[in-house]
Structure formats: structure tokens, C-alpha cells
Chain A
Amino acid sequence: MGKNRRYDFNLILGSILTAITTVPALIGMIWTPYDTHTMNNSLKLAKASLMHPFGCDNFGRDLLSRVMEGSATTLLIGLGTVFIGVVIGTFIGALTGYYGGLVDDIFMRFNDVMFSFPSLLLALVFVAVMGSGKIQLLFALGIAFIPSYVRIVRAEYVRARNMDYVKSAKLAGASDMRVMFVHILPNTFKILLNSVLIGFNNAVLAEAGLSFLGIGVQPPDASLGRMLSDAQTYLFNRPGLAIVPGVTLIIMVLGISLLGKREK
């Protein structure tokens, strides 16, 4: 009983925290209180007020609006990254895990090497090759996250390929493709869900990290990482410029990781 209540607690707190960041982000995709790109000299580094609840940044842009747009960008890139990683990772993992053999061996050696590199570094290399920008960042992170999903999905397929339900599906005349994607795939979802949540968090942090380094989302587009790096210059006078996007980032990651805990 006591244990169940603790799990509920993680779920409730996780949902609340996720909602606090995703709802403004979703709104920020279509509407923000102020235009996020118009600069206003008279509001430069303005303090918090009723009109601007978090104040304004060094260009006089409303911080709340910037955070809303930045969260939206971060959210979209996180989702896109996970999508690319899961779809391609599942496909490669399914094929190599199901068939095995030499191709599997070669792929797995390559995959293990990729996996041993921090995804932030991999993405950094891809950005160096492809150039910086939102779309490039999305692909760089997506590719960088493929190896981890290949690993998880492949392990499931290796386990499943000799199981009775797979054998009977084959005896019943199902094609390899059908066995792989109709019979085995749904059984990987439970494990995949957890790694999707962890992967989303890692993608959000990697996006923020790359944008912080100035090679991710490019100005004037808002991104939580970029805002943090711009805020460093004004840290002494206006620490809020760093704290607001930073705390938003933490709440986003914390909420999702609590949701992931519930799944265990």
C-alpha cells in the first residue's frame, strides 16, 4: 500500500512539473504575450513588472515570451530527436537482432563504438560536418541517439527470435517482415517507453548544451541554452536572465524523469 502511494506521488508530481513547462511551450508555438524578436531599447534589462513578469533581456525583449518560444523549440527538437532515433534505431535493431550473422556482428561493433561516445560529442561532430541551425541540430542529435535505441531493440529481438510465439507465427506462414514488425515489435514497446523518456531528457539537455555553445539554434531564434549563454554577461546585475531559462530546463527534465520512474 505504502509503496503504491509513493509511485502515485512520482506520477502526480511528474505530471504537474511536465505540464508547467509543456503547456506554456505549446502555447508559445502559436502565441506569445510579446513578439519575441522585436528589440526595444527603452526596456533594456527591465526589471520584473506586471507587464513583463520576468523582466526583459539585454535587447529589451520580454523574457516570458522568449522562454515560451525557447521551451517550444527545445520541446520540438527533443521530440524530433527521439522520433528519428526510435524509428531508425528500431529498424536497424530489429533487422540485426532478428537475422544475426556477420552483418549483425559488423553493425554491432560499429554501434558499440558509437555508443561509447557521449551523444553530445557525437552531435558536436555532426554539427561540425553539417553546419549549425535548427534542422541540422535535429538531424545531428537524431543520428547521435540512434545507437542507444539500436542496442535496446536488438536485445529484445535476440531474446524473442527463439520464443514459441515467434516460432508458431513462422509455422503459420508469416513472412519475416510480418513476424518482426507485427508480432515482435509490440512486445518491445514497454521497454522502449522508458528509454524514450530518458532519451527525450538527454536530447533536451544535449540541445541546450549545443545551443549554449553557440552551435545549435541560431539567433534571433530563442532557445533555452542560447538564453543561458547570453545571460552570463549580465549575471551580476540581472541573475534572473539566467535563472528563468535554467529553472525551466530543470523543471522540464525533472518532470519527465519522475514520469519515467513511475514506469519501473
Chain B
Amino acid sequence: MVLTGAEIVIRCLQEEKVEYLFGYPGGAVLHIYDELFKQEKVRHVLVRHEQAAVHAADAYARSTERVGCALVTSGPGVTNAVTGIATAYMDSIPMVIISGQVPTAVIGQDAFQEVDTVGVTRPCVKHNMLVKDVKDIAATIKKAFHIAASGRPGPVLVDIPKDVTAQKCEFVYPKTVSMRSYNPVVKGHTGQIKKAVQLLLEAKRPMVYAGGGVILSDSAEKLTKLVKALGFPITNTLMGLGGFPATEKQSLGMPGMHGTYEANMAMQYSDVLLAIGTRFDDRVIGNPAHFAQVARKIIHIDIDPSSISKRVKVDVPIVGNVGDVLDEMIKLVEGTSERPDAEALSTWWKQIDEWRARDCMKYKNSDEIIKPQFVIQKLWEVTKGDAFITSDVGQHQMWAAQYYKFDKPRRWLNSGGLGTMGVGMPYAMGCQLAHPGSPVACVTGEASIQMNIQELSTCKQYRLPIKIVNLNNRYLGMVRQWQEFFHGNRYSESYMDSLPNFAKLAEAYGHVGLEIDKPSDVEGALREAFKRKNDLVFLDFKIDQTENVYPMVQGGKGLTEMILSAEDL
């Protein structure tokens, strides 16, 4: 069948079973939009800014097992999308972004809305490709989806000049992809896996440290099975929350800069550390030299060889897909009667319980003023711990991660790597579309939410009943906290004057807005919001202006050098 390039693009997306395409039209993609108009299988979601399109597609991928898809025009369409692409890249989210380009004849001539898209996006994509011939569109898109979803996932961009979308050729969608230069390892090395299991069985102070790789490979069940069979303590990183049920006793909470005391202590003083789908990043282990002071054996499972021994030397590296490796490990553990030394394990647990008894997550609640931690705890109660929670970036993000106990994977969507303020609402949009009927809440702050506030309009258009939990402290909270701790209380540009009336703003967009300033009203407001199944409700919580996130490990400090509360300052 002879089709135009634009028809081919849409046919490819249909072949890939793309349910939602998040995008924004413009000159270079007009042919593609024309073809979108003529069909119904791929549903387009019109955002108000291209950054939000990419974030929403990213959230669609994070909350499902599918590849997210976005469509933007050339020039500013692409540059607006860059933040979204970089966000997805840092968190290894599978995504395909299709961008329009100026016609091939004028590429390089500084044409209207021209930008070197492949060049601009190169450092923040897993791969990108410029299609110069209509005959290459189908194979390129097939490749893009394959690369995005396989190995360590990531965003892949396909740049298509306008004239190519108008040319015609025979359409055949390739069934398979074969690339001599790209064959990610999936199966782990059997010998290494055996070595790892042996180390685990001989461990006296074992610790499991699981990251986003567990979520991305859909291995939460396998991980839970292995950890329960071994009876080991586990910590899940910011990207790995929900990889093991947070309400289980074996879960020590999150590690790292704002992790729990018990998780950080157990990470540091373990004798065997099993790291799964995680990358020892600076927000998790603090200073690598300090981390390396304590001798311990480290097993590291990761699909990306470059993640292994990048920041921390490991003893047993296993390159492979987390799920496949966990399968092998479970088989080996189940196949042997050998079990970890029960006495040593019980001594270790006693030590952990002592650390836990410090109750590092306690905070002083108040009857007068709303504490942000209290809002998140109530949010957890009201939603029975079963909502999809997205967050923006800052203090509220940490409070959400600390106080909302995630028992299931893919329920927590945040920008962990890049730390992009403004992701919260677009994430909630992508997530709500992927899970119609499920409760979706966006935990945000008055600063972050304003970075993509225009999307309230998109939410109206698509009737997305998300609940926005705005922890409004009239400060760039995390910046203010650092200025208080490390810059002599000089609050340089961290106070926001002239904030809008968010409740009224939400109403202006056609939504429901609530303002809450008393602790006694928190629960009622949340219940009211979730009762309104068809409305977007903007809950503007006026919270304590000076509340800080504890515990805290300062940047550059060791993992165990924690500030547990204001008294430690």
C-alpha cells in the first residue's frame, strides 16, 4: 500500500498500539496532524506547552508497562520538549518523541522554526534519528520503539522533516528489529549469580538496596518473594518506592539524603549489600569515600554495565535484566536447604530495631498550623495507600516519599534524577489517562505547580479529575531549608511574594478550588476532594512556613552523618 510519510507515521503508532499521543501542533507537523484527524485509534492529547506533553507521556510510561509517546513541532516545539526528554532520560523511562523538522531542502539555512534537533537532544536521549527519506520512516519508528523499551530504557527521538511526511512510498511495518550495534544483555552470568546467592546465604548483616530498575523491569513481586524468603532488611530508593511493600516490617524505608536513620545505618554497616537496579548516586550514598570506609561485600545487579563500578567498586557485578536475574536467584535459594545464620540475622535485626527506635520520622504536630507531614499521612489514610501519587520537586516531594507508604510499584511518579520542578501536574495527567477511574493525586508546592500551571486547562479539556495537594509555604522550601542550614539564614530569592489565590485560579479554569489553613480541616478537605470523582480539586494547604525535611545528610557528607531534627543543628 502506497502511503504518505504522515500516514506512515500514524500507521506505525497504530502498529505499536499507542493509546495516547501527547502533543502540540505546528507548521512542521501539520501533515501528521492531518492524518491524526482522519483516524480514531491513536488519541491525541493537546497540552498547553510541549514540556507538559513529554512529561505526560513519561508518566503514562511510568505508571504502565508501556512506551510513552509525544509529538512536537520543530524549533521551539523541540526546545520546549527538552526538559521533558532530559527528565525521562535521567530516570530511564521508555519513550518515543516524534518531532517535526523544517523541509530537507532548507535544513541548515536557518529556516523559520529550525533548530538542530538531533544535536540539541543528543546528550539527553538514549538515541535519536533524523529521517531523510520517506522509505526509512517505518523502519526508524520500529527501531525507536525497540530501543526505547529494551535494555536500560530511555527516550528515543525521531526527527522528521516536513517534506518527508508529504512524500509517498509503499508501507510495510517491519516485524522485527535486528541491529548489529545494539544487543543489550538480558540474562545474568550464571556463575556470578551463584556467587551472589552464596554470599547472601553466608551474610551476617545483609542489606538489600533496591532502586528504580525493579519498577522498570516489573520485578516487584519477584523482589518481594526473594527478600521474604531470606528475611533480610530492605531499603527502596526514591525511584524504587513500591518495589517492596513499605508497610511490611522488613522495609526500612528510603535511604539517602532524606532517608531514614535505620536505612542509612543498615546500608553503611551491612557486611553484604545486595544492590538491585540502582546506581549508588550521590543523593543515596552521600560521599563515596565515606561509604567505602566500611568493608562490605557488594553485589550489584544492573542491566547497564556502565552503572557498575561507576561510583562504588563492587565485588560481584551481575549485568542483566533485574527480573531475569531475580528469577535465577529465587531458583537457587529455593533449591538449597542452606539458610542464612539465624542467630546472626536476629542480632542484626535487633540492631536495626534499635536504630528504628530513634523514630527518625517523628515530627511535632500542631493544632494551630498545618504540618506538611500530617497532610501526607492523611492523604495516605484517605486513599487507603492505594492512590497514584505524582510529585513535583522540593520539600513536598521528600515528605510525600517519606510519609506515603507505597505498597505497590508504579504508584509513585516523580523526577528523581533530573529533579524537574513542574512535572507534577503533567505526570498526574498522563497517569490519570492511563488509569481512568483510579485516584490520582499530585503532591506539589506553590512554586513547582506554577511551572506548568497552564495545564489546568488541559485537565479541563480532557476531564481529568486529579487532586492537587498544594503544600503552600510561600517559600521555595528546599532552597529556604539549605539557606537556613548552610547560608546563615540569608533567604536569597527564596520567598515568593504575590502568589495567586490558587483556589480561585482553579475555579477560573473551571475546576474546584479549596483553601485549607486549619489542621482540623485537612482530613475533611481530602475526603471531600476524593469524593468528587469527576472534578479536578485544587487543595491549597497553607502549611507551616519554616518546616524542614528531616533526616538530612548534607551534600558531600557521609551517609551516617545525619541531621535527625532541629536539635542536631
Partners in one complex: no
